[in-house]
Amino acid sequence: ILNVEQSPQSLHVQEGDSTNFTCSFPSSNFYALHWYRWETAKSPEALFVMTLNGDEKKKGRISATLNTKEGYSYLYIKGSQPEDSATYLCAHRTDRGSTLGRLYFGRGTQLTVWP
Amino acid sequence: KAGVTQTPRYLIKTRGQQVTLSCSPISGHRSVSWYQQTPGQGLQFLFEYFSETQRNKGNFPGRFSGRQFSNSRSEMNVSTLELGDSALYLCASTPDRVDTGELFFGEGSRLTVL
């Protein structure tokens, strides 16, 4: 069983605050790190998939970094808005090639942004 | 393009019964995987199917099974239901591209076992 840890478990911020979350994962046999955003009553949606050490990805006000040597990834949200309220999941994949679907998920960080 | 569709969305069963959940992937996706989420736990991998073949299976008892049809639609079955099987079951489909492996999820089937 691969342990993917996310912190904090929950976070409450005011609109306009910037925030960040951490995902730690085993650094051996790394293949990819995924971030998903999961709003209540909806389906999880992929934010980023990162594969290379030092990767930095950005989508609007959200960005992520990856350090595969030490086994962590950060997700940053700049100027949080109420619509950013969701659970943010990270997931680690070691397989390559034949098994595309298996990911090891953390328990998520639940973000609430107050107006 | 239609997303991943799961049916039923909600269902209530009693202990000892069995249940079948259905998943229709995004058109053109041939890989379907299933995950279970219980309160306080992260998504736990159940199994993955590709071209009607199970390629990977998580650490769940044999009461959990699945299959995939030639049109890529998938079903999972849980027999002899236990209270602990109450959970949200998510299905995800994957494009065939190896480089991303991004999962496209359905909204889930919420099973309550009484």
Q: Is the pLDDT assigned to residue A95 strictly greater than 80? A: no
Q: Is the pLDDT assigned to residue B113 strictly greater than 80? A: yes
The CA distance from A4 to A29, in Å, is 14
Closest chain A residue to B58, measured at CA: A102
Q: Is the pLDDT assigned to residue A53 strictly greater than 80? A: yes
Q: How many angstroms away from the CA of A44 is the closest CA of chain B?
A: 6
Query: Which amino acid does the sequence have at A89?
Result: L
pLDDT of residue B41: 86
How distant, in Å, are the alpha carbons of A91, A94, B77, B81 from that of B18? 30, 33, 7, 6
Cβ of A107 within 8 Å of Cβ of B101? The answer is no
The CA distance from A88 to A10, in Å, is 10
Q: Is the pLDDT assigned to residue B98 strictly greater than 80? A: no
Interface membership of A71 toward B (CB under 8 Å): no
- Let me know the angle formed at the C-alpha of A52 by B27 and A6, rounded to the nearest 5 degrees: 80
Q: For B48, which of A32, A36, A99 is closest by C-beta distance?
A: A99
Q: How many angstroms away from the CA of B50 is the closest CA of chain A?
A: 9
Closest chain B residue to A100, measured at CA: B101
pLDDT digits (tens, 9 = 90+) for A24-35: 998 887 889 999
> Percentage of chain B with pLDDT > 90?
78
* Chain B residues within an 8 Å CB radius of A96: 98
Count of positions (residues) in chain A:
115
Interface membership of A23 toward B (CB under 8 Å): no
Number of other residues whose CB lies within 10 A of the CB of residue B13: 16
pLDDT of residue A102: 81
Answer yes or no: are the C-beta atoms of B111 and B82 closer than 8 Å.
no
Q: For B101, which of A42, A49, A107 is closest by C-beta distance?
A: A49
Cβ of A108 within 8 Å of Cβ of B35? The answer is no
Burial (CB count <10 Å: 0-12, 13-18, 19+), residue A90: buried
Cβ of B41 within 8 Å of Cβ of A102? The answer is no
Answer yes or no: are the C-beta atoms of A34 and A90 closer than 8 Å.
yes
Residue B69: CA count within 13 A, CB half-sphere: 9
pLDDT digits (tens, 9 = 90+) for A54-69: 999 999 999 999 999 9
Q: Is the pLDDT assigned to residue A99 strictly greater than 80? A: no
> Percentage of chain A with pLDDT > 70?
92
pLDDT digits (tens, 9 = 90+) for B28-62: 999 899 999 998 888 999 999 988 999 888 999 99
Cβ of B103 within 8 Å of Cβ of A89? The answer is no
pLDDT of residue B100: 65
The CA distance from A21 to A89, in Å, is 10
Cβ of B45 within 8 Å of Cβ of A102? The answer is yes
pLDDT of residue A18: 96
